[in-house]
Copies of this chain bind each other. A is one copy, B any other.
Amino acid sequence: MNNARKWYDEIDDSGIYMSSRVRLARNLRKYPFTLMQTDQTAQSVITEAENALMRGGEDFWNNFIKINIDEKKDIEKYSYVNKHAISPEFFKRRGPKGLFLTLDEQLSVMVNEEDHLRLQAIFPGNNMEKAWERISRLDDLIEESIDYAFDKDFGFLTSCPTNTGTGLRASYMAHLPMLEFVGEIGSVAQAVGKLGMTIRGIYGEGTEPMGSIYQISNQVTIGKSEEDIILALNTVTAQIIEKERAIAQKAVTNIETADKVYRAYGILTHCRKISLKEAVALLSEVRFGYVSGALKEKRPKNNIYAIMMNIQNALMQHNCGRSLREAEADALRAEFIRNSFSI
């Protein structure tokens, strides 16, 4: 664990946009795809990826840490998933795997997930352009030394045909408590689906969407340029966010709204034990309060999303270095939250 500030430490609680992410699926032409590969070729892919990154120069390379995910304890693996650094599928896969992650966790390369390479750039807030620019440079750098599996008709070839073409998945993470509250997420999802995009809840460890945070992403990766895919996603996301903002603007004049966010703040800053589910729900209300202006209390040291992640059981256990009983976790969670809010 390094102490550099991470992308999620930089999320600003004054907007509905929480993060902008781009990932590219890439494979090496000269090796069988992951489903068919031997441990030996899997290892070769890792080596080639590492060499490709090292070509970025010392300053660039020094910014990366190489993580042997198989050597990590389960709770640490889950914490990487929580932080969006890896997919849950990644650490479940057998055979040699590699993970290269920058200190700020903005840039990552997963080796031998579903594809040989999954490049990812993630930025706080509404920063898709930055993310796209960053991932393109990384993609170019790797291509200098690696021959990608590419077909002039299909584009980039991938393990799963749903990624073939651009191999691109762009996604926004957005906080949509009002759309959720008025029950409009379903109709939004339907509309978005017709445009080749999707919206889904971000899950913590539970089975319910975590704290009204949603991910909006493209589903279609073929037949359009990367720029067009991103442009369409930008447009749709902006519309969703406008809708959220319009409902919020009305709600914010109600005393019911003020009461809700202030009570949430009052409980979070005073409770002595709290379940993950309740904490996340109250944190979501408090974030809404900050974003909408309904809550005029001091902000916590870290942003709400970072707090939400830090109070997941996996990350708490990781930070404690041991497993925790539920009652213990509830008490530690309350303490962590109180400390976060006491400036």
Residues of A within 8 A of B (CB): 255-256, 258-259, 262-263, 265-274, 297, 327, 331, 334
Chain B residues near A273 (CB, 8 Å)? 255-256, 259
Chain B residues near A256 (CB, 8 Å)? 273
Contact residues of A: prevailing secondary structure: helix
Instruction: State the CA gap A69–B255 with chains docked (Å).
Output: 37
Chain B residues near A262 (CB, 8 Å)? 270-272
Chain B residues near A271 (CB, 8 Å)? 259, 262-263, 266
Closest CB in chain B relative to A338 CB, distance in Å: 9
Q: Pick the most buried of A255, A263, A273: most chain B CB atoms within 10 A of its CB.
A: A263
Chain B residues near A263 (CB, 8 Å)? 266-267, 270-272
Closest CB in chain B relative to A343 CB, distance in Å: 17
Instruction: State the CA gap A269–B259 with chains docked (Å).
Output: 11
Closest CB in chain B relative to A329 CB, distance in Å: 12
Look across to chain B and name the residue whose beta carbon is closest to the beta carbon of A270: B266
The contact sample of 28 A-B pairs, CB cut-off 8 A, is: A255-B272, A255-B273, A255-B327, A255-B331, A256-B273, A258-B272, A259-B271, A259-B272, A259-B273, A259-B274, A259-B334, A262-B270, A262-B271, A262-B272, A263-B266, A263-B267, A263-B270, A263-B271, A263-B272, A265-B270, A266-B266, A266-B267, A266-B268, A266-B269, A266-B270, A266-B271, A267-B267, A270-B297
